[in-house]
């Protein structure tokens, strides 16, 4: 069986929000292999397994071809990493010098992984890394040597099995060719200009719940949130923030929306409408849910699952926070897929 070869390409764009240039770079990648998965705003996975024979090049040679084309056609430097799966290619690209290429062959996976810190492992965030270190597991090699039943006992079944598989370099995900997801936006207009910050925050909570529910319905996760506030004089303020980890859960989306709202520093502002937009969308399978040490988070996720089932059966608004029992904004305004200032 031919060894699978996945190339992770990271383009060093002059502007992170240059969607047109990013689309052109994806087209360059598709000229090398049709199996390209976009990772907005500046990266992609390429399955080059079959392309190696077509181009009669090895992995490093095909990466060099991609780097040459993107530089010659668009003046963009590309960092590449090639490995047997997506996880390893992404990890390798993160430590590859800009404009260079790293190649990891199947026989080198264990040696390359073992010496790396646990925080570098796919799906391991600060909380998980901290707990691993409390048990004396400082490197990926330490995790790989820990029996799976021990990891399951310490972190739970799903997280324990994932840690064990990832520490051994295993990642069954394939490159999924799909169009770039468009931002998802929910808008709310008040029935009259509102000065009360409490009413603004209620609207934000309602918007966060709606955006999160639509993300979960579409099996997507957001990597960035943008908040827009329109005032009585029709002027608009905008703020955006990249999330620590992509999510489709109401609690972190609402918390980020509140933080963005505070950045406006509104003082008796007459607000007419508020919009919350989820950007940098990706399949929910691409979003890693970090280990939580707060039992309250588990309860919130359990309530969210119940709410989703009720909504699927009885329609939107069946179960909602008590603070949203009465709304000061127009209930008739429906969400849009694009921004409406």
- Render pLDDT for 223-240 as a digit per residue (tens, 0 to 9): 889 999 999 998 999 999
Q: State residue 13's pLDDT score.
A: 93
- pLDDT tops 50 at residue 331: no
The full set of domain ranges for the chain reads 6-104, 114-167, 184-324
Tell whether pTM > 0.85. Answer: no
* Rama region for 299: left / alpha / beta (φ>0; ψ in -120 to 50; rest): alpha
Q: What's the pLDDT at 59?
A: 96
The domain 114-167 is classified under which CATH number: 3.20.20.100, 1.10.150.20, 3.90.950.10, 1.10.260.40? 1.10.150.20
The 10s digit of each residue's pLDDT in 201-217 is 999 999 999 999 999 88
The structure tokens 């530089």 sit at 71
Backbone angles phi, psi at 43, to 5 degrees: -145, 170
Counting beta carbons within 10 angstroms of the beta carbon of residue 44, is it exposed (0 to 12), middle (13 to 18) or buried (19 or more)?
buried
Residue 271, classed as helix, strand or coil, is strand
Q: What superfamily does domain 6-104 belong to in CATH?
A: Reverse transcriptase/Diguanylate cyclase domain (3.30.70.270)
Q: Residues 245, 250, 254, CA angle at the centre, nearest 5°?
A: 85
Q: Quick check: 158 pLDDT over 90?
A: no
pLDDT digits (tens, 9 = 90+) for 75-126: 999 999 999 999 999 999 999 999 999 999 999 999 999 999 999 998 888 8
CATH superfamily of 184-324: DNA polymerase, Y-family, little finger domain (3.30.1490.100)
Question: What is the model's pLDDT at position 329?
Answer: 46
The predicted pLDDT at position 111 comes to 94
């Amino acid at each position: 069986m031919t060894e699978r070869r996945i190339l992770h390409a990271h383009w060093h764009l002059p502007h992170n929000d240059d969607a047109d240039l990013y689309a052109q770079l994806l087209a360059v990648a598709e000229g090398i292999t049709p199996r390209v998965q976009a990772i907005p705003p500046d990266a992609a996975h390429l399955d080059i397994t079959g392309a190696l024979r077509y181009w009669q090049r090895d992995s490093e040679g095909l990466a060099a071809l991609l780097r040459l084309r993107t530089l010659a056609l668009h003046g963009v430097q590309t960092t590449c990493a090639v490995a047997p799966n997506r996880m390893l290619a992404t990890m390798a690209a993160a430590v590859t010098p800009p404009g260079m290429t790293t190649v990891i062959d199947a026989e080198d996976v264990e040696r390359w992984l073992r010496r790396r810190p646990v925080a570098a492992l796919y799906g391991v965030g600060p909380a998980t890394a901290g707990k691993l270190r409390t048990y004396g597991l400082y490197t990926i090699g330490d995790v790989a040597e820990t029996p799976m039943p021990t990891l399951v006992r310490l972190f739970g079944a799903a997280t324990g099995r994932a840690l064990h598989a990832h520490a051994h370099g295993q990642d069954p995900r394939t490159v999924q060719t799909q169009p770039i997801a468009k931002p998802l936006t929910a808008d709310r207009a008040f029935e009259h200009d509102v000065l009360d910050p409490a009413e603004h925050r209620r609207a934000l909570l309602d918007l966060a719940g709606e955006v999160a529910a639509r993300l979960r319905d579409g099996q997507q996760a957001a990597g960035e949130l943008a908040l827009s506030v329109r005032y009585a004089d029709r002027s608009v303020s905008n703020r955006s923030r990249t999330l620590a980890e992509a999510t489709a859960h109401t609690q972190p989306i609402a918390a980020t929306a509140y933080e963005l709202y505070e950045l406006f520093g509104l003082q008796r502002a007459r607000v007419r409408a508020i919009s919350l937009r989820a950007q940098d969308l990706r399949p929910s399978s691409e979003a890693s849910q970090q280990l939580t040490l707060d039992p309250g988070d588990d309860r919130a996720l359990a309530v969210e699952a119940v709410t989703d089932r009720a909504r699927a059966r009885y329609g939107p608004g069946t179960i909602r926070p008590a603070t949203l029992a009465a709304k000061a904004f127009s209930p008739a305004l429906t969400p849009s897929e694009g921004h409406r200032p």
